[in-house]
Structure 1
Amino acid sequence: MEINYKFCAFVDILGFKNKMSNFDDALNYYKQYFSAYESFDKSHDKLLESVRETLEVSTGDSIEEKVESVVFSDSIILISSNWKAFLFRLSNISSLFMSYGFVFRGGIGFGKHYSEFDSNKTYIVSEGLVQAVEIESNFSVYPRIVISQLALEEVLKSAKSLYDVNNMFIQSEDNMWFINPFF
């Protein structure tokens, strides 16, 4: 059993519960959501390939490292130890969902993490995920993905310079830092 420190995000699509009053409407909404997410996966992979080809550079902290994802109901969980890849993917998800008209909110945490994925099951035990869910439900009052202080400190500690994170976050009037969906 391998335990690592990882970033975790929990993103919830808002309004899905209201759609459940009519199952057919909920199913159509859900199909649109999955279609948007599958479209995102394909376009994100193409974007990464384009960036690699344009730069023709491979670095140890590139945006192409693994970001694991789990999609269930109207929620997405993202997991990675690479903060650049993780934040790049979250920013792209935010931007895509807005363009498709989906309203969402979420949280980002950081901490000890264990997960096991295979075709039949998914196991996740994660301090970061607990933080992310708590942030989503208690602090992300508006449609945004808020980062915990612990996760933000880890990003700042790992960044080579403040320039690396300059455009990644926005600070709101309530002093919460959240993902800039356009960086």
Structure 2
Amino acid sequence: MSNILKNYFVAFIDLLGFSNMVSHDCENPVSSQKYIDKLKSVHAQTKKLQGNLENLQLIQFSDSVVLALPFNKEKFHDFLSLVADYQYELLKNSILCRGGISYGMHHFEDDFLFSSGLIHAYNLEKDISVNPRIVISKDLIDLIYPQNGNENDLILKESDGSYFINYLHTRKYDEAWKGISSIVPDNLTNKPSIRGKHIWLINYYNHCFPTQKQREVALFQ
């Protein structure tokens, strides 16, 4: 029997606030539903992206999305670009996400999924990402860029040492801010977990567009 397990890049993405979206649309009249159509639209747009990368796998269940591509160093940038586009489409639809990208042995066939790469990516999302960012395994970074470190504009290194997808790279500042301002309220919530994510998002925007800062956040009041 041939070995069906092969090495893949694997991204695990968690849609933040999904349970609230489900509750909103399930508990309100049809005329007030606003999330299911957005999620279906983003999913449809993402499926179209499959044509841009041969052998790309897309799996979505509940609040989780898995993207996988056979491991090929030359395709790493293309894979990151696709994930970045997906994250940006979510932002434009007022949806935040976080996640992890890793690599490992992987097999998906007829709705059967068996993947160490997915486990690694999931653990990155669960233990490290915290904020609305998609963290990339340092082992993967070292494998792709063994000599000179990160050489990819789609990757940023944060102060905690984590690498994450720079999905606002080359975007239009006003379009990006429109997405952010549709999510972050004028008066930040006092709930620490949500407040921290919103502050991180504003600071990330300011980092990407330093001459177009839309808002300063006072961390100490």
* 1:114 equivalent in alignment to 2:97: no
* 1:93 equivalent in alignment to 2:86: yes
Q: Quick one: distance in 2 between partners of 1:140 and 1:4?
A: 26
Indicate the structure whose relative CO is greater, using CA pairs within 8 Å and at least 6 residues apart: 1
Could you say what the CA RMSD is over the residues aligned between the two structures, in angstroms? Answer: 2.6
Letter of the 1:143 counterpart: P
Instruction: State the partner residue of 2:76.
Output: 83
Offset, 1:181: 0.6
1:134-166 Cα distance to aligned partner (Å, 9 max, x none) = 111111111010011222223225xxx869942
Offset, 1:28: 4.5
User: Max radius of gyration: which structure?
Assistant: 2
1:30–1:74: 8 Å Cα contact kept in structure 2?
Answer: no
Q: How many residues align?
A: 159
1:67–1:79: 8 Å Cα contact kept in structure 2?
Answer: yes
* 1:71 equivalent in alignment to 2:60: yes
Instruction: State the partner residue of 1:36.
Output: 42
Distance 1:99 1:114, change over 3 A: same
User: Aligned to 2:97, which of 96, 104, 114?
Assistant: 104
2:101–2:137: 8 Å Cα contact kept in structure 1?
Answer: yes
Seq. identity, %: 28
Instruction: State the partner residue of 1:54.
Output: none
The correspondence of residues 139-178 of structure 1 with structure 2, limited to 5 A, is 139-157=128-146, 165-178=151-164
Q: Under a length normalisation based on structure 1, what TM-score does the superposition of the two structures give?
A: 0.75
Name structure 2 gaps, 5 residues minimum: 170-221
Instruction: State the partner residue of 2:17.
Output: 15
Runs of 4 or more consecutive aligned structure 1 residues displaced over 6 Å after TM superposition: none
Answer 1 or 2: which has greater strand percent. Answer: 1
Name structure 1 gaps, 5 residues minimum: 49-63
Offset, 1:27: 7.0
Q: Under a length normalisation based on structure 2, what TM-score does the superposition of the two structures give?
A: 0.63
